[in-house]
Amino acid sequence: MPLLSDRAGKTSEMVVLPASTEDPNKTAPGLVRIGLLLACGSIAILFVSLVFAYYWRKTEPGIWQTTPLPGTLWLSTLIIACSSVTFELGRRRYARGEHANAAWFLRVTGILGLAFLLSQAKAWLELIDRGAYLQSNPYSGFFYLFTGLHAAHLIGGLAGIGLAIFSSKRRREVVDAATYYWHFLGILWAALFFVLAH
């Protein structure tokens, strides 16, 4: 049984794709997109819950000592913003069939992603030098929790980049999903940075 492609509205002719039940090696149209939405939705719920806990704990009596944020975090923010731009440039070139050119942009994005992780590690080391440890007070605990969980999800994004570059079965929807996931992580980082700074 054929399924209508999501590109069907862009042409005057009917476009059909073979159903995944007819060819078990093919992913059903839209399955990658649904997976992306579920992943981003669950990550967003996790971080929104943590932010609520952060603000709730901030208003409770007890020790709450904010620490000036390391200047490295501004560099981290610039790096992840630039990586989002290079990923989008790569995605657009991939969509036009310029796979070699797209792979170059994806590699640059991967390098920027690693640079982001290194700058985050440097921020952690700066806080440790100041004596702000995970259990020093709730603020520093939330700082390590937010940045550590974000870094873990970013490592997942780097795995997506590797899959997009080195997979023998390159598919446009995988590149699109990896790019949108990366953009989501960039927006998430900006939100977390804002929360930690205020």
pLDDT, tens digit, for every residue of 101-160? 999 999 999 999 999 999 999 999 998 888 777 667 888 889 999 999 999 999 999 998
For residue 4, what are the β-bridge partners?
16
Judged against a pLDDT cut of 50, whether residue 187 lies above it is answered with yes
Which string of DSSP letters, residue by residue, matches 66-83? --PPPTHHHHHHHHHHHH
50-62 average pLDDT score: 88
Q: Which CATH architecture group holds 32-59+69-197?
A: Up-down Bundle (1.20)
Q: What is the pLDDT of residue 25?
A: 55
Instruction: Tell me the pTM.
Output: 0.81
76-80 average pLDDT score: 96
Q: What is the pLDDT of residue 145?
A: 93
Q: How far apart are CA 136 and CA 146, in angstroms?
A: 16
Domain ranges for the chain: 32-59+69-197
What six digits make up the tokens of 146?
Answer: 């937010």
